[in-house]
Amino acid sequence: MSGLSLGACDGRDFCRSSIRDSTIGINFDALGEVEHYEHVSGDLFDLLKSDMREAQPGNNEITLQDATPESFRALLEYIYSGKVCLGDLPEQVILDLLGLSNKYDFSHLQSSILAYLKATLSVHNACIIYNVANFYQLSDLCLACASYIDINAQAVMRSEAFLSISHQSLVELVSRTSFYCPELEVYFGIRRWLDNNEVSKDEEKNILKIVRLELIPMSSLLGEVRESSLFEANDILDAIAMINKKNMIELNQRGLLLPEENVATVQHDATVSDNQTILLSGDTESYTGDHGYAIHTITRNGPSKGIIVGLNQPYIINCIKMLLWDRDNRSYSYYIEISLDGSQWLTIIDRRDHLCRSWQELFFEDKVVKYIRIIGTFNSMNRSFHLVSFSCLHTSRRFSLSKDGLIIPDENVASISTSATVLEGVSRSRNALLNGNTRDYDWDSGYTCHQLGSGYIIIQLAQPYVISTMRLLLWDCDDRSYSYYIEVSTDQKSWTKVIDRSQESCRSWQHIQFDPLPVTFVKIVGTHNTANEVFHCVHFECPAAPLSSSPNNHFN
């Protein structure tokens, strides 16, 4: 087809326009009327008002090389009526219309087509739509297609449409860890694609790299995979060596990805050992000392079976949230392991040397997981480990981890909302120091204090964090000044002094900076007050907010 030309005819009656040899007639005077429609603001019509040859008087024809009669007829329908029924159009016409709306900047039309395509994705069209989305660099549509294909990977690979996918799209899609499909099926799909598409030797080599040989059963590696001659013998031997030497979960596994969705739920058919499904109920309010939690005995010698959460299939996760029983000030220690088969385990979180309380929000690098085992190793009150709630998911939230896997927070974690608490110190309100209120304090309330020479203030964070800054507000309703020092700990036994201002006169806001350290407990010790024998602190946070965001910038 040579192209599509616009010649003179009555634009208002475009449905009766003749199409002969790829020619559609339109009266340019009629085209002027589209300026009255808000939805029409395309580059195509801007050209008609420009200095280009096609816009000059007497030139009644424009040739469009990239349009089909059917798709342009649909575009005209949109131009003159403000709507087009996508459900009445063949799929290929819709894709052609998407190309026209993209090229000529019909943004409203393009948005509508994108929404329609996302809603009508299927095993038979997802690859075709992904090809088009890739070509026009439509990232949202690419992501929607990729997510659909990931979840339906096996059926998509067996479809005829899979054979039409481009080399680039094939590599992009199948190389994803979230392309969830048995690896032998991936191998057969790639082999079928290669049998139906001509590629260079280098391109074929690049495509074969996306097959994860170490995930294919050894019998198949030595059988159909070896016999196909697609892979070098050394590649197959290396894969067999990996299978024999590595823990199954350490291999480059594939898993299902459901972004920001908790997959440890009864709705997702998740289970809990000893039928303790209360753990997955989502009830984080009604638990007491007698019910509302999962439990296991902490053993003194030998491994404990722990609490095992089983997912209904392997998922990609990077975040675990769980609630330790917290109706008093007790602390727990624990570690978490993951597995794919329930027999080979890999530790991803280790809090055996730390004291933790209440809500635990744990991040780690992406892992493909089917079983999660939580093993308690310490309870400051008794020999039982109590877990009220558990969830796991894959999040796109940005997080930073130390080499030991501890979170390096960029927001205050010494707050009531992050489950921090004040263990030592006198106040009318137990956690006044952590409630974030830096304005409503006076002579009688709004602060936490201790007697000089015989006490201190201790804050416990919910879990260990790597901290390098702190900020506190000393009571400043008059012109008094204080002296103090601060120590930190992870076990409340060994303390490290991070700041010593015992020989300084300090008042109001204090900003403290030191080398990064793991911190669970913070001890603030007042050593002097120019007005009386009590040390008063209104607010504490770590890490510290940026200096520019402080209520007032007067720092000691």
Question: pLDDT at position 31, please?
Answer: 39
Residues 463 and 382 in one domain: no
Q: Is residue 381 part of a domain?
A: yes
Residues 385 and 290 in one domain: yes
Q: List per-residue pLDDT tens for the chain, 556 residues long.
A: 334 433 333 333 444 333 333 344 433 333 333 333 444 445 555 655 556 565 566 666 666 667 788 888 898 888 888 888 999 999 999 999 999 999 888 999 999 999 999 999 999 999 999 999 999 999 999 999 999 999 999 999 999 999 999 999 999 999 999 999 999 999 999 999 999 999 999 999 999 999 999 999 999 999 999 999 999 999 999 999 999 988 888 999 999 999 999 999 999 999 999 999 999 999 999 999 999 999 999 998 777 889 999 999 999 999 999 999 999 999 999 999 999 999 999 999 999 999 999 999 999 999 999 999 999 999 999 999 999 999 999 999 999 999 999 999 999 999 999 999 999 999 998 899 999 999 999 999 999 999 999 999 999 999 999 999 999 999 999 999 999 999 999 999 999 999 999 999 999 999 999 999 999 999 999 999 999 999 999 999 999 988 655 554 445 5
Question: pLDDT at position 76, please?
Answer: 86
Choose the final residue of a domain: 89, 104, 120. Answer: 120
Q: DSSP string covering 232-251, please?
A: -HHHHHHHHHHHHHS-GGGS
Q: Is residue 524 part of a domain?
A: yes
CATH of residue 85: 3.30.710.10
Residues 339 and 447 in one domain: no
Residues 425 and 389 in one domain: no
Q: Is residue 416 part of a domain?
A: no
Domain, as residue range, for 509: 421-549
- Calculate the alpha carbon distances from 501 to 180, 367, 478, 485 in Å: 57, 45, 20, 5
CATH of residue 366: 2.60.120.260
Say if residues 269 and 379 touch (Cβ distance below 8 Å).
no
Residue 6 DSSP code: E
Domain count, the chain: 3
Question: pLDDT at position 49, please?
Answer: 56
Question: pLDDT at position 81, please?
Answer: 83
Say if residues 53 and 59 touch (Cβ distance below 8 Å).
yes
Residues 276 and 388 in one domain: yes
Q: Is residue 349 part of a domain?
A: yes
Q: Which residue in 141, 88, 96, 97 sits closest to 118, CA to CA?
A: 141
- The structure tokens 């008094």 sit at 480
Q: Is residue 138 part of a domain?
A: no
Q: Is residue 207 part of a domain?
A: no
Say if residues 541 and 508 touch (Cβ distance below 8 Å).
no
Residues 425 and 541 in one domain: yes
Question: pLDDT at position 504, please?
Answer: 96
Question: pLDDT at position 54, please?
Answer: 56
Buried-state track 332-367, b at ≥16 Cβ within 10 A, e below 16: bbbbbbbbbeeeebeebbebeebbbbbbbbbbbeeb
Q: Is residue 154 part of a domain?
A: no
Question: pLDDT at position 546, please?
Answer: 82
Residues 382 and 432 in one domain: no
Choose the final residue of a domain: 90, 120, 150. Answer: 120
Choose the final residue of a domain: 75, 94, 120. Answer: 120
pTM: 0.85
Residues 434 and 385 in one domain: no
CB atoms inside a 10 Å sphere around CB 37: 13
Distance from C-alpha of 337 to C-alpha of 355, rounded to nearest angstrom: 18
Residues 38 and 114 in one domain: yes
Distance from C-alpha of 310 to C-alpha of 273, rounded to nearest angstrom: 8
Question: pLDDT at position 79, please?
Answer: 85
Question: pLDDT at position 5, please?
Answer: 39
Residues 437 and 528 in one domain: yes
Residues 373 and 441 in one domain: no
Q: Is residue 114 part of a domain?
A: yes
Residues 355 and 439 in one domain: no
